[in-house]
Amino acid sequence: MILLKNATIFDGENLGTAYEDLLLKDGVVARRGTDLSAEGAEVFDLGGKLVCPGFIDLHVHFRDPGYEWRENTESGARAAAGGGYTTVVTMPNTEPAVDNPVTVEYLVARGKKAGASRVLPAGCVSKGRQGKQLAELALMAESGAVFFTDDGAPVSDAKLLKTALLYSRDLDVRIMEHPEEPSLSAKSQVNEGAVSAASGMKGCPASAEVIDIQRGIILSRETDSPIHFTHVSTELGIDAIRQAKKEGLPVTCDVTPHHLSLDETYVLVSRFSSAYKVNPPLRARKDVKALWDAVADGTVDAIVTDHAPYHLDDKDVPFQEALSGIASLECSVAVVLDTWAKTGKPVPLERLLELFTSGPAALLSRPWRSLGSLKEGAPGDVTVLDLEAIQRVDVNQWKSKARVCPWDGEMLQGWPVMALVEGRVVMNRLKDPE
């Protein structure tokens, strides 16, 4: 039993205006009010710090099974807790791919054993992520898969994607599409624009993203099935999703901390540091602004890390040879909060917090949708934020096995200081309980 006292509470929808207390008992939210007491409870006086529903990351890569030296479920779950996340969704582009119920069950069990953040697996849309044959969607859903995706690549066959959308609608598990047209993006290194022109490296055009988004929107309209587009990075892509939402289609999307805080010029300024190489690539400044506008107007449904852990040997090579991906689980919340503050707080704090809590929770399969709330009886998942905390990013202190991060060494303001999963403390940078 844990009692959090003197907190400013964001319940997933509204931000409180006075200090309140929150009691967690038997793994759920038991009471919310003022001057609460509970015999035998561990008491944490938060001094006005911000209490939120546990943060949810819908898109992480833990490399388990097959590439555990880069990240395994245990190190990833602990890294997530260290970053203030209480629930993460792991992508299925592993070796072997997560395309059957046995592998889903394996990952669920590994996540529970880790004893840190909750780990919910996504399953593949197609067998082996080959885009040729539908994977065992219903069986994977029964085993605990909360999304279907061939992430790392789009679903290559439009007919198969349409069939998957129809199945997913009946299973109440969303398709998550990696929006990319490979014929346009193949062998690209950076964004098509100023950096590709200056460097001579092949650029990835915005059209590569928006073409696949338009395909998914058309199929969503035709099947009346939800589709979720992940790590949207361009103004054109966001505009297409905004129009689909205005039409009333069940289309959702997420954006990443790196696409909200970095643009393509960082590649040049860093002298082509592979820490800035990611897919989709860092885009132009107008795209970054478009993403923040989409956060403000409700087009964006969630912020996800796309945490892509690689061994130093994978990244400590010339830019053209490096693998694409940014590791950020343990600093991503701070990156977003710091960027938000430094850009003049362009959206209300409540709106920003929704994208880590109730927004992503609403996109999960039905058993997990209550994670984005602090109502009585909801799971006792809590993230505590200190918006005034200033801390240096130090990858050497990370729980993740990854050590290549573009923010390493930077001072950021606004950090998670405590995380609880089902009333159990999984991260604590506060003083001991009273």
Peptide bond into 318 cis (omega under 30): no
Structure tokens belonging to residue 173: 């598990």
Q: How many CA atoms lie within 13 A of 157 on its CB side?
A: 13
- Condensed to tens digits (0 to 9), the pLDDT of residues 330-341 reads 999 999 999 999
Which of these three, 326, 348, 370, is where a domain ends? Answer: 370
Strand partners, 121: 90
The DSSP code for 204 is E
235 in the same domain as 264: yes
The phi, psi pair for 165, rounded to 5°, reads -60, -40
CATH number at residue 355: 3.20.20.140
Q: What is the DSSP string of 34-100?
A: SS---TT-EEEE-TTPEEEEPEEEEEE---TTT-TTT--HHHHHHHHHHTTEEEEEE---SSS-S-S
**Gyration radius from the chain CA atoms:** 21
Q: Is the pLDDT of residue 384 over 80?
A: yes
Q: Is the pLDDT of residue 365 over 90?
A: yes
How much is the pLDDT for 178?
Answer: 98
> Which of 221, 148, 157, 212 is closest to 180 using CA atoms?
212
| Strand spans (E) along 185-323 | 190-191, 203-204, 227-229, 251-255, 302-303
The answer to whether 25 and 36 have CB atoms below 8 angstroms apart is no
Has residue 46 been placed in a domain? yes
Q: Is the pLDDT of residue 434 over 90?
A: no
Has residue 108 been placed in a domain? yes
Has residue 257 been placed in a domain? yes
Has residue 327 been placed in a domain? yes
Has residue 433 been placed in a domain? no
Q: Is the pLDDT of residue 433 over 70?
A: no
Q: Is the pLDDT of residue 211 over 90?
A: yes
Q: How many CB atoms lie within 10 A of CB 312?
A: 11
> Distances from the Cα of 401 to the Cαs of 63, 97, 287, 303, 394, in angstroms?
11, 21, 31, 22, 13
Q: How many CA atoms lie within 13 A of 391 on its CB side?
A: 22
> Which of 234, 237, 255 is closest to 245 using CA atoms?
237
Has residue 116 been placed in a domain? yes
How much is the pLDDT for 432?
Answer: 60
Does residue 408 sit in helix, strand or coil? coil
- Condensed to tens digits (0 to 9), the pLDDT of residues 28-86 reads 999 999 999 888 889 999 999 999 999 999 999 999 999 999 999 999 999 999 999 99
Q: What is the extent of the structural domain holding 298?
A: 55-370
Catalytic residues: 306
> Which of 287, 285, 281 is closest to 267 using CA atoms?
281
Has residue 434 been placed in a domain? no
How much is the pLDDT for 38?
Answer: 86
Percent of the chain with pLDDT over 90: 97
The answer to whether 207 and 231 have CB atoms below 8 angstroms apart is no
Has residue 249 been placed in a domain? yes
173 in the same domain as 315: yes
Structure tokens belonging to residue 251: 């289309």
CATH number at residue 411: 2.30.40.10
Q: How many CA atoms lie within 13 A of 119 on its CB side?
A: 31
The answer to whether 53 and 372 have CB atoms below 8 angstroms apart is yes
Q: What is the domain count for the chain?
A: 2
- Condensed to tens digits (0 to 9), the pLDDT of residues 221-268 reads 999 999 999 999 999 999 999 999 999 999 999 999 999 999 999 999
How much is the pLDDT for 39?
Answer: 87
Structure tokens belonging to residue 396: 């050497």
Structure tokens belonging to residue 68: 């555990």
313 in the same domain as 346: yes
| Chain centre distance of CA 56 | 7
The phi, psi pair for 101, rounded to 5°, reads -65, -30
Going 231 to 237 to 238 to 244, the CA torsion angle's sign is: negative
Tell me the average pLDDT across 94-111.
97
- Residue burial 73-109, b: 16+ Cβ < 10 Å; e: rest: bbbbbbbbbbbbbbbbbbbbbbeebbbbbebbbbbbe
Tell me the average pLDDT across 261-285.
97
